[in-house]
Amino acid sequence: MAYRITVYLLGMFINFFGVALIIHATIGAGFWTSFFIGVSDLFGLTVGFWYGVFQFLIIFLNGWLMKQNPEFKALLPVFLESFILDFWLEIVFASVDLSAAPVIIKALTLGMGLFTIGLGVAIYILPQFPRAPVDQLFLAVSARFNLSLRMGQTLVAVVVASLAVLIGGPVGIGTAVLVLFLGPVIQMWYTRAYPMYYMLRPENAPHEEYL
């Protein structure tokens, strides 16, 4: 159990380190972030409020896709993610400002963020603990429609980014990069992390349904 918890938290920290890099690249927010900002601008209240509201609603969508009861314990990762993201943004990156940096620096930061998020998500889903609803969504879509992780993530990204554009969210180059490449990057890291995870913990290895 300690091993699974360690891997779970490690994946979360790596994931949100990547999210912080994407935010500081300042060339377009991620598709979910763009959507939540767009909703906030449209209806008022904070981005965090809408983040929580939609996470709660997505619990029911995931239950419907998976043909099972809503997984309310998935709210736990929402609180963990909020804490970890604030750790990176408010403590580690508090004094970092790349808004005036050369384009090449922003592009490198974006690329590093993309690969770091992909690695973090691939690690974070391995222990099969409760996942935040937005993370569970692409897994539910993949399972329901018999898609790979790459295709499930890309499909969700395209739909959410399109909605963000329609409501005026801060969609930019960074958003497009995540939509196009995050799914394949998660798939790439997952195919490498999966055997390593079960090499260290070989018992009860599940069927490799997403590889």
Query: Domain coordinates of the chain in residue numbers?
Result: 2-200
Q: What is the pLDDT of residue 205?
A: 52
**Regions of the chain short of the pLDDT cut 50:** 207-211
Q: What is the pLDDT of residue 207?
A: 47
What's the rounded Cα separation, in Å, for the pair 73 and 190?
24
CA distance readout (Å), 2 to 6, 8, 127, 162, 190: 6, 10, 11, 40, 21
Q: What is the pLDDT of residue 185?
A: 92
Q: What is the pLDDT of residue 119?
A: 95
Q: What is the pLDDT of residue 163?
A: 93
Q: What is the pLDDT of residue 4?
A: 87
Q: What is the pLDDT of residue 203?
A: 57
Q: What is the pLDDT of residue 122?
A: 92
Q: Which two tokens stand for residue 97?
A: 């400002």
